[in-house]
Every structure is written in structure tokens, then in C-alpha cells.
Chains A and B, each alone.
Chain A
């Protein structure tokens, strides 16, 4: 089972993602803003297999979470997918500088997200 942290302040997206990544194969933990995301990361000692995050959110934006995750000491950093509608070039570049593994622009194609999630999880096995 893969444990995924999803950070998203829209109410519909988590429902969709929870449905297309169903248990028992996946366990999707949802945080609705940056603060909650950081709390969850710390409470679970960064024991997630994957992080899916938006960029613009209250309290802490996606880049901040990303830099926290990537700077956390683990033998392998958690792979990160950004799912956002804010896809201007500067932001994508900024994301990659911070070490993001994949960038999906909203609206997403559900099947595509599933494949990318699988690939990243495989790579990090």
C-alpha cells in the first residue's frame, strides 16, 4: 500500500483523486491548506510515499511545502507532483528548481495522473 499526501484547497479535487486512487492499493491523506499539510507531514514523520500538491493555498504555498519535503533528511526524498492551474512558465521553472518530480496542469486527465503516480512510486521503490 502506498501512502499519499494530497494538499489541495479546492473541495472537488480531493474527492476525485481519492476515487481514482482507491484503497487498498493507495491511502490518500488530505490536507486542505499549507498549514495542515505541514502538520500532517510532521505528525507522520514524513512517512509518505508521494506528495501531490497545489501551489496557491492559504498559510503556506506549495513551494514552501516542497522545500520542506525536499530538505527533510531521508534516504530518499518524497517524490512530489504539482497539480495546479497556475501554470505560467516562471512558476514551472521555480518548481523544478526546488526539485519537483512532475507537473500536471488542471484540468487533469485522471488516467494520466494514475500512470504518473504509479511511475514515481515504482521509481522510488
Chain B
């Protein structure tokens, strides 16, 4: 008897047909599992091959790119010094040897230029940007910005931000209110970096919280962009109903030592939100506003623990030496370990004025309190 493939299939079909449900399910799952496994192998091979190809291309291209960037841009003696770097007409001919007609070639060069710009700024940085423009490398990012996929848009926005490429407000602003968090964050960074009119405008309208991560990225962009006009942050500290914006603005006030915004921060001491109040206390301490010390000491007893610690730390930072008795009292009589430690640290920070008190405490306290004091006085211990 001759069995053909169709006979076998017929057999399988009949086994399947008469089998109980459990077996039917099992047969289906076997087929699914085997094909999924085979598929997984194929996908893996493909992905490894692509990765390998990319690695090989990079190994070949990067030395060439480096050589060109070095000779033509970074250390090119022929670049005129009397022309603004963004106006210099660069000799593009040597770059013809790169496969810039291929997208991967352009991407690789762009990435490398960005890498260089992370390392050098000034004239060299401007020249690199000039090269990026003259080689039309921005066209790819332009296309990505119009892509339907949000992650492509994010890539484009990042590239523009890093390359300092102006984009029209009308293009970015809708993205800055996108429902996608990543896209929203990238658009806000791009807006601050690239908008020529009012880079901080979106602070007015932002309703979702600026996550700590967003704050890190924004903070970096704001504090490293040189030609940005810094507004008076008191405007948002006073009027914004978004707590994260208020808190972020306080950090910026501290960074810029913006004393004009101090009254707005002082008003926050009456705020009902504990976290915000603690942040306001911290900001005042960092700004060394000696005038609020009395106020802080007055507030002290009515505060929750972490605000009390913030107050003690602030007194340590302000270092006026006017409230050493208060600190001494807290150090000796507070029941909470963390409070005593914060008080001791504040006393030690006021060392110049508190010399006598410290000596007295060293001589009279014992046990844990003495240990705390020594801990805070030891220069080897940082925290």
C-alpha cells in the first residue's frame, strides 16, 4: 500500500475530528508552538545579521568620518577666522567619499556629528552644525518629524534640539500638548531650546505634572542654553496651580540666584501642601535668605517632621548664627533622632559663631547626643 502525503493529512484530520476537546486543543497548540519557535529562530537570525552588518559598516565608516571631521572641521587651518562660523562656506568635496546617498550613511554621520558636539562647543561646534546643514542632513529629521509614529517624532525633536535647529512654534506647540508623555516631554525641551519668542510659555498652560525626569532634562536645557532670556520665575511660583511647575521654578530660582523671586517663595510658607512648603524652605535656605530665619523658627512647632528637618537644614545653610540657642535646644531636647542630627549639623555649620556652644556641648553631653555631635563634626563623614 502506498501512503501519500494526503493520506497522512487525512489520518491526522480524522484523529483530530474524533479526539476529545483536550486533545484538539493540544494539537492546535502544538502546531502554534512549533511554528512560533521556528519563526523565533528566523527572526533572531535576521536581527543578528542586521546587527552584524551595522557593526561592520561602522567599523569601516567611523575612521573615515573621524578623519574627515578632524581634517576639514576641527583642525582645518584653511577655515577663515574673520567669518562667522555659521557663514563659512565649507569644502564639501571630501565628504563625497562617504555613502551619503544611503540613509544609513547619513544617519551614521549625523550621529557622529552629535557625538562631536557633545565634546566640543564654540567655533568648532558651530562649524559642525554648519556642516550638518550644508550636507542637508536635516532633511531626514524633517521627514521624521512628519512621521505618524510618535517615536520617530521624538527622535527628530531630539536631533533638532541637539543640533540647535530652529523650528517654527506652530510645529512644536501642538506636540507639547500631545497625549503621549514621551512626545510631550521631547517637544517641551525642543520648545525651550529653540523657540525664539517666549521659551517658557508652556509653563502657563501645562496641567499635567512635570515628572522628576522631565525636570532633569528641562533643567539641563535651560541651564546650558546660553542665549536664553531668563524670566522672573515669581510669576509661576505665585500664580501656577501646577505644583510641579512651582517646585521646578523654585529650583531654577536657586540656580540663578534670582532674588527678585524670593517674596513669592516666602508666600509659599503659608501653602497648605506640606511638600511644597518643605521645598520652599529648602530653596530659601539655599538662597541664604537670612531675613526669613525668624519666620522659620516661629513656624517650626506647627510643622510636620520633614518640614522641621527642612527648617533646621535651612538654618544651617543660612549660617547667620542668630538662632544657635534654638538649635541647641532642639539638639538637646528633641525626641526624634533625625531632628537632633539635623540640629547638630546646623550648629556645626554655624561653627564660626557657635564655637562656644559647640565646646560647651562637647563637654556636657553624653551618649547618643555626643555621638551625633561628633558625627556631624567629622570631616570624613559626608552625610
Check A-B contact in the complex, CB < 8 A.
yes
A interface residue numbers (CB < 8 A to B):
10, 12-13, 15-16, 19-20, 22, 85, 106-112
- Give the docked Cα–Cα distance between A18 and B116 (Å): 14
Once A19-B75, A20-B75 are accepted as A-B contacts, the answer to whether A108 and B120 lie under 8 Å apart by CB is yes
- Is A20's CB under 8 angstroms from B74's CB? yes
- Give the docked Cα–Cα distance between A15 and B66 (Å): 8
Once A13-B119, A16-B120 are accepted as A-B contacts, the answer to whether A107 and B66 lie under 8 Å apart by CB is no
For B120, the chain A residues whose CB sits under 8 A away are 16, 107-110
- Is A10's CB under 8 angstroms from B119's CB? yes
Pairs across A and B, CB under 8 Å, 21 listed: A10-B119, A12-B66, A12-B116, A12-B119, A13-B119, A15-B66, A15-B70, A19-B74, A22-B75, A85-B118, A107-B117, A107-B120, A107-B121, A107-B125, A108-B119, A108-B121, A109-B122, A109-B124, A110-B74, A110-B120, A110-B122
For B207, the chain A residues whose CB sits under 8 A away are none
Q: Nearest 4 CB-CB pairs, A to B?
A: A109-B122, A107-B121, A19-B75, A13-B119
User: How many chain B residues touch the partner (CB < 8 A)?
Assistant: 16
- Is B119's CB under 8 angstroms from A19's CB? no
> Which of B66, B115, B116, B123 is the one whose CB lies under 8 Å from A111?
B123
For B121, the chain A residues whose CB sits under 8 A away are 107-109
- Give the docked Cα–Cα distance between A112 and B70 (Å): 18
Interface of B is mostly: helix
- Give the docked Cα–Cα distance between A20 and B75 (Å): 7
Residue of A nearest to B122 (CB): A109
Across chains A and B, the number of contacting residue pairs, with CB separation under 8 Å, is 45
For A110, the chain B residues whose CB sits under 8 A away are 74, 120, 122-124
> Which of A107, A111, A112 is the one whose CB lies under 8 Å from B119?
A107
For A19, the chain B residues whose CB sits under 8 A away are 70, 74-75
For B118, the chain A residues whose CB sits under 8 A away are 85, 106-107
For B74, the chain A residues whose CB sits under 8 A away are 16, 19-20, 110
| B60 → A minimal CB distance (Å) | 16
For A13, the chain B residues whose CB sits under 8 A away are 119
Residue of B nearest to A8 (CB): B119
Provide the B83-115 mask, 1 if CB < 8 A to any CB of A, else 0.
000000000000000000000000000001001
- Give the docked Cα–Cα distance between A16 and B124 (Å): 11
For A106, the chain B residues whose CB sits under 8 A away are 118-119
- Is B122's CB under 8 angstroms from A112's CB? yes
- Give the docked Cα–Cα distance between A112 and B123 (Å): 11
| B346 → A minimal CB distance (Å) | 19
- Give the docked Cα–Cα distance between A16 and B120 (Å): 9
| B68 → A minimal CB distance (Å) | 12
Q: For window 166-205 of chain B, which residues contact chain A by CB distance below 8 Å?
A: none
| B128 → A minimal CB distance (Å) | 10
For B119, the chain A residues whose CB sits under 8 A away are 10, 12-13, 16, 106-108
Residue of A nearest to B70 (CB): A19
| B240 → A minimal CB distance (Å) | 27
| B166 → A minimal CB distance (Å) | 20
Residue of B nearest to A13 (CB): B119
- Give the docked Cα–Cα distance between A19 and B120 (Å): 13
For A12, the chain B residues whose CB sits under 8 A away are 66, 112, 115-116, 119
- Give the docked Cα–Cα distance between A75 and B362 (Å): 41
- Give the docked Cα–Cα distance between A12 and B74 (Å): 12
Residue of A nearest to B67 (CB): A15
Residue of B nearest to A85 (CB): B118
- Give the docked Cα–Cα distance between A40 and B187 (Å): 46
| B43 → A minimal CB distance (Å) | 31
| A121 → B minimal CB distance (Å) | 20
| A10 → B minimal CB distance (Å) | 7
